[in-house]
Chains A and B, each alone.
Chain A
């Protein structure tokens, strides 16, 4: 057995086990961390398929950014796991239906009869083949417009998401750090030029006292 095959079974076993633990773990933080583990192992599987760009992008985007924010949110929630599980049996038929549909669709794609995967030539890539370069070439030439449109849609989605959650309270007295940094010394303190006060001679002072 080739070493790659061992790696494949290792990665896929951990992926499946971790994915199972995502839905069975009682603690939501553990579930998120198992999801991270599953992502990591899927990245390993993609690496075995010589898709190094996608694999590293998966780690960078999902593990490094998306799941961190996810964890950030889940960490601060006080989820009552019993209440979440309450409707398990009533929702089970729907869940089985969706799961079955997903499995069937994946089987259609992977069996290759309709998508012609079986007809693809076996890929023997040369050593200097750069997956990243090829991907970029396709993305920025043949699919340039769809790519740009997708990025604009995502940008709009980001702005909308920010706008939807942006609420200003009228009684908010928070400082704006930009204003604070923009402050100059002369805004806060005024240096006034004035004539020096003349000190009275000693005899005059004594006279005042008397």
Chain B
């Protein structure tokens, strides 16, 4: 792809090319970033719309249908409204950190996309330690919430921040331990290689590729990862961080306008990120489910959409977890389960019954 663009530019610019050449890597990387960010932010905007529609239908309501045809311009109108609103600073707030909070929330949510492969070769940075990078960057996201909660200098945000830090750290543990099983069977930390490792296996040789993906042999880990992902993004039924019946909106209480919207953008970008990660680690990324249909990005998009629908579905279905039960689920159910399953997978891989040879 890059070679094509370069040769086209050489032809188009002619003698001006040598002056562009030194900054070309920078330009090319920036162009790729825009190519990832623009669709991502658009999907974030429309995910909020889809969420309201889907939950509306599940509750036998209509959902937004006034702005534009079928209400399709609703997210644009919401964005415009939030842009035009004033960002208020509470008098007792720590002004600098009050601004840093939303930035710290959204930056990791976007930075993590650098290593996500969308299709063979369609990746911004195909690094060897891709999984580590993802874990490292997504673990920084909790700072946004904590800083926002503390800088607001108000009671509810403080409670929200305390809940967030405890919850996100707890579920990061089970998420990371669940991923260890995936790393063991794929024998790599590179995300593209993890996807390709799922294209081999007995069922794949019969043409039933979807049975060879990691979700089946690592089924408990798939469940743990998905549920921890919901908890990690503070979505219902794990949204005690911003539970409106208890602490109004948690860390976001004192925020208004675009600063408030940044937390929302971060939450939805994180949801899309978790769905992309789940489809890469457990559902074969861009691989097609059966051998006779070609692979491609559309498969990854379909899998991500299915997981996102799952996120919305459980939000409309389940009541909110109580805080102590949420902690119990994380530490007393998921962590022991993942630890045992790591052992099981280790023994399985060493035994003659191993399917990952």
Q: Which residues of A contact B (CB under 8 A)?
A: 27, 29-30, 33, 36, 52-53, 56-57, 59-60, 63-65, 68-69, 71-72, 75-76, 130-132, 175, 177-178, 180-181
User: Which residues of A have CB within 8 Å of B225?
Assistant: none
A153 CA / B162 CA spacing, docked (Å): 30
- Complex CA–CA separation, A181 to B143 (angstroms): 32
B19 beta carbon closer than 8 Å to chain A: no
Does the CB pair A72–B140 fall under 8 Å? no
| Interchain CB contact under 8 A, A178 and B139 | no
Set of chain B residues within 8 Å of A181, measured between Cβ atoms = 325, 328
Q: Which residues of B contact A68 (CB under 8 A)?
A: 142-143, 146, 165, 168-169
- B58 close to A (CB within 8 Å): no
Contacts of A178 in B (CB 8 A): 328, 332
B124 at the interface (CB under 8 A from A): no
A-B contact pairs, 6 of them (CB 8 A): A29-B97, A33-B97, A60-B132, A64-B139, A68-B169, A72-B146
CA gap between A53 and B128 in the complex, in Å: 10
Determine the main DSSP class of A at the interface with B: helix
Q: How many B residues, CB 8 Å from partner?
A: 31
How far is it, in angstroms, between the C-alpha of A119 and the C-alpha of B126 when the chains are bound? 34
Closest 7 CB pairs of A and B: A64-B139, A59-B136, A56-B132, A60-B136, A56-B136, A177-B325, A177-B324
- Contact residues in A for B133 (Cβ distance below 8 Å): 56
* Neighbouring B residues of A30 by C-beta, 8 Å: 97
Q: How far is the CB of B178 from chain A (nearest CB, A)?
A: 15
Distance, CA A131 to CA B169, complexed state (A): 27
Contact B136 A72 (CB under 8 A): no
- Tell me the total A-B contact number using a CB cutoff of 8 A: 79
Contacts of B298 in A (CB 8 A): none
A128 and chain B: residue at smallest CB distance: B128
Contact B146 A60 (CB under 8 A): no
Which of B132, B147, B325 contacts A132 (CB under 8 A)?
B132
Residue of B nearest to A75 (CB): B150
Least Cβ–Cβ distance between A175 and chain B, in angstroms: 8
| Bound: A29/B172 CA distance, A | 23
- B114 interface residue (CB < 8 Å to A): no
Assuming the A-B contacts A60-B136, A69-B169, A177-B328, are A52 and B127 also in contact, with contact meaning beta carbons closer than 8 angstroms in the complex? yes
Chain A residue nearest to B147 in the complex (CB): A33
Q: Interface of B with A (CB < 8 Å)?
A: 94, 97, 127-129, 132-133, 135-137, 139-140, 142-143, 146-147, 150, 158, 161-162, 165-166, 168-169, 172, 189, 322, 324-325, 328, 332
Given contacts A60-B132, A177-B324, A178-B332, contact A65 B146 (CB under 8 A): no
Q: Which residues of B contact A71 (CB under 8 A)?
A: 143, 146, 150, 165
Distance A68 CA – B140 CA, assembled complex (angstroms): 9
| Listed residue (A29, A53, A56, A64) with the most chain B CB atoms within 10 angstroms of its CB | A64
16 further A-B contacts with Cβ under 8 Å, apart from A56-B129, A72-B146, are: A52-B128, A53-B129, A56-B132, A56-B133, A57-B132, A59-B137, A59-B139, A60-B132, A60-B135, A64-B136, A64-B140, A65-B139, A65-B169, A76-B162, A130-B128, A180-B325
B residues less than 8 Å from A33 (CB atoms): 97, 147
B18 to chain A, nearest CB (A): 19
Chain B residue contacts of A63, Cβ below 8 A: 136, 139-140
Chain A residue with the shortest CB-CB distance to B332? A178
For the complex formed, measure the closest distance between the CB of A66 and the CB atoms of chain B, giving whole angstroms: 10
The answer on a CB contact under 8 Å between A72 and B165 is: yes
Q: How far is the CA of A29 from the CA of B161 in the complex (A)?
A: 14
- Which B residues are in CB contact (< 8 Å) with A60? 132, 135-136, 139
Q: B166 — nearest CB in chain A belongs to which residue? A: A72
Bound together, the chains give a CA A177 to CA B158 distance in angstroms of 25
Q: Chain B residues near A130 (CB, 8 Å)?
A: 128
B129 touching A59, Cβ below 8 Å: no
Neighbouring A residues of B129 by C-beta, 8 Å? 52-53, 56, 131-132
CB of A37 to closest CB in B, whole Å: 11
- With both beta carbons as reference points, the residue of chain A lying nearest to B150 in the complex is identified as A75
B135 touches A36 (CB 8 A): no
A75–B146 CB distance below 8 A: yes
Asked whether A72 and B162 contact (CB < 8 A) given A65-B139, A132-B129, the answer is yes
Across the two chains, which residue of chain A brings its CB closest to B322? Answer: A177
Query: Of all chain A residues, which has the CB nearest B168?
Result: A68
Q: How far is the CB of A9 from chain B (nearest CB, A)?
A: 19
- A177 CA to B321 CA, complexed, in Å: 11
